[in-house]
Copies of this chain bind each other. A is one copy, B any other.
């Protein structure tokens, strides 16, 4: 008789347990979430000035549209394609870049400088092999900007997360450096 009561209790608890399984669509609140992987990398963009321009040897990016839209005063419409080194510290001449950032950005606001990025981090080091794919807005005048890590391959198979940008250096139109804090919340 007691056993039967226990059985009933078990049913109830199992019901609760299975409901919490069914409800697995409900994820942890973002306040509770901790990254399953996190690292900081520095992005170095060395802009090529065009034919006869500065530094074709070291340049790692080039404008592919011109700023001739003349919409506003912040090169609205200027698009840049890049293959930029990513290093573990601020030093562009770090022994070995840990990854390349390959993709593009363009400027898209009339009244303040603001950009939009889509790119791939291509890792090929002793630490990691694989890629992370990232896209989002980069409102440059904000102290920090969050973009989405929308997918990954290799060591970053199916990863998702947030890439937080911070401007780390800005040298006219020739060079800028971004600190990218990569936080992955889905790891496999």
> A interface vs B, CB < 8 Å?
1-7, 9-11, 13-14, 17-18, 20-21, 24-25, 27-30, 33, 36, 48, 50-51, 56, 59, 62-65, 68-71, 76-77, 79, 81-83, 102-104, 106, 108-110, 114, 116, 118-120, 122, 130-131, 133, 135-137, 139, 146-154, 157-158, 160-162, 185-188
**Chain B residue at minimum C-beta to C-beta distance from A68:** B51
Report the 10 A-B pairs with minimum CB-CB distance, sorted nearest first: A148-B151, A2-B3, A146-B153, A62-B69, A120-B137, A30-B157, A64-B65, A64-B77, A30-B188, A150-B150
Partner of A118, one of B62, B65, B118: B118
* Residue from A6, A29, A160 whose CB has the most chain B CB atoms within 10 Å: A6
Q: How far is the CB of A99 from chain B (nearest CB, A)?
A: 11
Q: Does the CB pair A137–B71 fall under 8 Å?
A: no
Beta-carbon contact of B30 and A158 below 8 Å: yes
Q: Across the interface, do A120 and B116 meet the contact criterion of CB distance under 8 Å?
A: yes
Q: Are A151 and B160 in contact (CB under 8 A)?
A: yes
This chain's copy number in the assembly: 3
* Cα–Cα distance between A147 and B152 once the two chains are bound (Å): 8
Contacts of A137 in B (CB 8 A): 102-103, 120, 122, 131
Residues A103 and B116 in contact, CB atoms below 8 Å apart:
yes
Kindly list chain B residues whose C-beta atoms are within 8 Å of the C-beta of A139. Answer: 122
Interface centre among A21, A77, A122 (most CB of B within 10 A): A77
Tell me which residues across on chain B come within 8 A of A65, comparing CB atoms: 64-65
Complex CA distance for A57 and B65, rounded to whole angstroms = 22
A17 touches which one: B21, B50, B104, B152 (CB < 8 A)?
Answer: B21
> Do residues A120 and B136 form an inter-chain contact, with CB atoms below 8 A?
yes
